[in-house]
Amino acid sequence: QHPSHRPIFSFSRRSGRLTDGQQTSWETLGPKYLVDVERAELDFSVNPAFRVDPAELFGRDAPLVVEIGSGTGEAVVAAAAERPERNFLAVEVVVAGLARTLRRIEDAGLSNVRLVEANAVEVLEHMLPPGSVEELWIFFPDPWHKAKHTKRRLVRDGFSAVAANALRPGGRMRLATDWEDYAFQMREVLDAAPEFTSEHPGDWAPRFDGRTLTVFERKAAKAGRRIHDLSYVTAE
């Protein structure tokens, strides 16, 4: 049996962090939509030998969109409903968010979304075949805004090579953040990356109309934080 179809593991360690409804979603819907990741040593790690065939995971061969940091699933579920011809893989480590996403998927009656509870870099580096991703979405990643924590940010030196390897030739990476200094860091890192070309050199991209306006984005705008979008493509 393919690893992605095995029953998911260890519900017990999550029970204290979930509401009763979320726990029910996790237990009843998890086996349907969650990838059962083979771990290395840490909870959110991916065994370097673990691979997933996207066509087998989704039961069809279709362009794959990966969203890193999918939160409660508001954006990815809306996108999947609007684009049934694409497959969507949502990567998240907050279990309550994953549980809410499971419920959203089920309520929307979607068959083109799967979730993975894992470190995103390891998902791209190990779990997915090279060149298998059509688009990579990174919307409002944790800004780690304290100076001593900025080294934990996802988009930093070294990330571009991992992302480009997962994307197909001519694949696209879309990013958005409401933290201005992170936006400039993203642009600096990716402008310098030989694997990527900016679709709007030296400038911000227009707002991606495929990104639904989430509660989080509304709050950021209400707080006066400007949303910065970026878009990059890999070489054909």
Catalytic (active-site) positions: 142
| Residue 19 burial class via C-beta count within 10 angstroms: exposed 0-12, middle 13-18, buried 19 and up | exposed
Q: Name the H helices within 4-154.
A: 20-33, 54-58, 74-82, 95-108, 120-122
**228 token code pair:** 């910065």
CA atoms within 13 A on the CB side of 227: 20
Angle at 195 between CA 90 and CA 158, to 5 degrees: 70
Question: What one-character-per-residue DSSP string does 39-67 give?
Answer: P-SSTT---TT----HHHHHTS---EEEE
Helix or strand or coil: residue 173?
A: strand
Of 189, 54, 30, 62, whose CA–CA distance to 124 is shortest?
Answer: 54
